[in-house]
């Protein structure tokens, strides 16, 4: 009986902590708009225990080690509710509210009222390796359209000896729900912790494998790294999941099968409205098959072929003109020239639904390039051609947005140019995948005239990178998206450190080497004649962490990379 009374007393104490001092506000942000204070129906302890998640993840909210660390201003992801609507979350800060209270502020953004009505924030403490649920604050977000600050006031004594505040945030359709429609969790620094030893975010352990062999691993020792930068569940922009594919091809083996223009027979000239069969690949089964496509646009540099009317003729013209007028001259200027094995001076762009196993979420292939198409081998289309996806690249509804494929056009065309320059002209090996992909994303950045924030976001939220994902080894069977982020960031770091602007990319392609040695040639020419590629890789990893304004341990103050 005594233990039961003690339990009741402790439980009521927690209720008092969360019901009396907790205040909940949503501050509307807008130009010349006064602050608007909204009080939810229920501000605390509607739920006496944690709610369940509809879908289990690899992380476990009951394990404090699985809570990713969030810094002030960090994007926390996007929660998708039972209506399919998005709730955008940001950790703003934890600030002083009074002598006895602190205020935890989360940023919230929504674009509709047709959504789940409530957002619930659960608070936890780490009690010697297990999580103790303290209570929650519940917000009625049904009619919040725009950007808001959700503020929870907590007594400082609740966390006075805890370096972290642990939170779990989910959306629910009603106050009687047993399951979250979607949920995420994270921890933040407690600036009011009274412990003598507080977390020091200025000290890290950086382990770098300086081997130039992408297949070689090195032992990091027996100690355990307590690294807070774990991945959130990857609810980030769709474009962050975008992949592509350069089909493996043994150019040396088939060098005698290369299509020589002067030796080939006369080929038919196609006009808009004509149809023909193309070989394409199922990227799940790695099987080739044929589809029929219709020539919907023929321009100065491109022919756009469309399978099964998946885009209209007007949309095909839009796609082709963007390539002819902007993308082709941009890539040629910065990377080199494509080949012309079929002698028509044009690139075929085949638009169809690439079979990549996409099932409404996760990674998808937005396009691919197959070097075999430049050779007289089985299943070759014997022309300069790359393949552009319609679903989900151009959207998941019947209304297609062909502009969503522009960056993929830029990306795949660089691959085509790269193969021509390295293999067909220089007679060298194809460029290593991690470099070739880094250059294609550099082409995207030149075209977009801004940093690729989706690749930065994936870097920020990915645990495999934290745990040592290789830059050099392109992991098609694992977290391939991590490779895209690392290759993109390395190529931008390399450009910034060399100080030559975008012209460094063409110089890299022109170098006689097709691997890391080409990078080493550039860094020894423009940075330090004694700097090895291995050491430069370590400097790159340090730069991602330290972001110093000068020197090798940063991006020289480029604000595009401040969010790393």
Catalytic residue positions, numbered:
412
Q: How many CA atoms lie within 13 Å of 209's alpha carbon, on the beta-carbon side?
A: 19
3-state secondary structure at position 251: coil
Q: Looking at the DSSP assignment, which residues form a beta bridge with residue 388? A: 351, 367
Identify the three-state secondary structure at position 412.
Answer: helix
Cβ neighbours of residue 559 closer than 8 Å, sequence gap 6 or more: none
Judge contact between 43 and 15, C-beta under 8 A: no
Q: Could you give the CA distance from residue 108 to residue 489 in angstroms, rounded to a whole number?
A: 29
Neighbour count for residue 89 (Cβ, 10 Å): 24
The residues facing 464 across adjacent strands are none
Cα 238 from Cα 458, distance rounded (Å): 11
Show the beta-strand stretches assigned E in 331-412.
347-352, 364-369, 385-389
Distance CA 266, CA 155 (A): 82
Rounded distance between C-alpha atoms, residue 113 and residue 279, angstroms: 46
Q: Dihedral sign, CA of 349, 392, 463, 564?
A: positive
d(CA 385, CA 391): 19
User: Is residue 392 reached through a cis peptide bond, with omega within 30 degrees of 0 on the bond before it?
Assistant: yes
Secondary structure (3-state) at 179 = strand
Buried/exposed code over 545-560 (b: 16+ C-beta within 10 A; e: otherwise) = ebbeeeebbbbbeeee
**Phi-psi category of 77—alpha, beta or left, where left has phi over 0 and alpha has psi -120 to 50?**
left
Do you know the residue count of the chain?
564
Q: What tokens were used for 206?
A: 């950086």
Rounded to whole angstroms, the Cα distance separating 83 from 85 reads: 5
């Amino acid at each position: 009986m005594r233990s039961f009374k003690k339990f009741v007393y402790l439980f009521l104490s927690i209720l008092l902590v969360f019901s009396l001092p907790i205040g909940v506000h949503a501050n509307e942000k807008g130009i010349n708009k006064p602050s608007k204070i909204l009080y939810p129906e229920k501000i605390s302890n509607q739920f006496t225990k944690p709610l369940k998640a509809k879908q289990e993840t690899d992380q476990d909210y009951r394990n404090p080690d699985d809570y990713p660390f969030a810094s002030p201003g960090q994007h926390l992801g996007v929660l998708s509710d039972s209506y399919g609507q998005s709730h955008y979350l940001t950790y703003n800060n934890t600030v002083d509210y009074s002598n006895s209270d602190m205020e935890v502020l989360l940023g919230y953004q929504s674009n509709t009222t047709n959504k789940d009505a409530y957002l619930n924030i659960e608070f936890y403490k780490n009690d010697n390796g297990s999580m103790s649920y303290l209570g929650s604050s519940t917000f009625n977000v049904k009619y919040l359209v725009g950007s808001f600050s959700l503020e929870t006031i907590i007594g400082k004594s609740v966390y006075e000896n805890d370096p972290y505040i642990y939170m779990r945030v989910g959306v629910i359709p009603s106050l009687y729900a047993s399951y979250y429609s979607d949920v995420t969790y994270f921890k933040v620094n407690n600036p009011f912790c009274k412990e003598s030893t507080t977390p020091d975010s200025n000290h890290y352990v950086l382990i770098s494998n300086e081997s130039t062999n992408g297949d070689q691993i090195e032992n990091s020792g027996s100690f355990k790294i307590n690294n807070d930068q774990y991945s959130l569940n990857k609810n980030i922009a769709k474009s962050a999941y975008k992949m592509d594919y350069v089909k493996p091809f043994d150019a040396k083996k088939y060098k005698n099968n290369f299509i020589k223009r002067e030796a080939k027979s006369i080929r038919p000239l196609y006009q808009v409205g004509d149809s023909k069969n193309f070989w394409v690949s199922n990227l799940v089964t790695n099987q080739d098959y044929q589809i029929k496509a219709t020539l919907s646009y023929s321009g100065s540099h491109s022919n756009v072929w469309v399978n099964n009317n998946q885009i209209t003729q007007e949309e095909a013209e839009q796609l082709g003109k963007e390539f002819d007028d902007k993308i082709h001259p941009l890539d040629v200027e910065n990377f080199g020239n494509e080949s012309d094995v079929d002698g028509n001076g044009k690139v075929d762009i085949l638009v169809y639904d690439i079979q990549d196993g996409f099932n409404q979420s996760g990674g998808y292939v937005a396009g691919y390039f197959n070097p075999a198409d430049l050779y007289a081998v089985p299943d070759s289309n014997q022309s300069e051609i790359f393949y552009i996806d319609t679903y989900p690249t151009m959207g998941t509804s019947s209304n297609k947005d062909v502009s969503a494929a522009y960056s993929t056009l830029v990306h795949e065309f660089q691959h085509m140019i790269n193969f021509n320059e390295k293999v067909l002209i220089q007679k060298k090996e194809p460029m290593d995948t991690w470099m070739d992909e880094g250059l294609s994303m550099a082409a995207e950045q030149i075209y977009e005239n801004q940093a690729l924030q989706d690749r930065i976001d994936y870097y920020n939220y990915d645990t495999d990178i934290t745990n040592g994902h290789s830059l050099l080894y392109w992991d098609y069977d694992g977290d391939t998206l991590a490779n895209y982020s690392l290759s993109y960031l390395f190529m931008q770091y390399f450009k910034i450190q060399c100080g030559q602007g975008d012209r460094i990319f063409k110089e890299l392609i022109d170098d006689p080497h097709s691997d890391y040695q080409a990078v080493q040639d550039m860094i020894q020419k423009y940075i330090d004649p004694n700097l090895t590629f291995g050491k430069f890789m370590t400097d790159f990893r340090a730069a991602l962490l330290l972001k110093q304004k000068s020197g090798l341990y940063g991006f020289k103050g480029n604000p595009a990379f401040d969010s790393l």
